[in-house]
Amino acid sequence: MSEKQELIKKMLVMQKKFIDYEHQHGVEMEDYFVGKEGHPLYHFRQQYRDLAMKLVDLAHAEKGSRR
């Protein structure tokens, strides 16, 4: 599986976990943006963003473009 496919797979798993958590517990904005250590959303936003930006970089490199 290519690196892009692996990143997409990880992002989809993260999305599913987030949606499941949201449906079961609801999501407070504070927890999403500045969740405390140990909370299921702790660093979620940053980790997801990092994967997304890596995916964007790979796509640009593949096409020979830049952002």
For the chain, domain boundaries = 3-63
pLDDT at 1: 76
**Per-residue pLDDT tens digits of the chain, which is 67 residues long:** 799 999 999 999 999 999 999 999 999 999 999 889 999 999 999 999 999 999 999 999 988 887 7
- What are the CA-CA distances from residue 39 to residues 12, 43, 48, 58 (Å)? 20, 9, 16, 31
Using an 8 Å Cβ cutoff, are 4 and 55 in contact?
A: yes
Rounded to two decimals, what is the model's pTM? 0.86
Q: What is the pLDDT of residues 23-38, one digit of tens each?
A: 999 999 999 998 899 9
C-alpha span between 18 and 62 (Å, rounded): 29
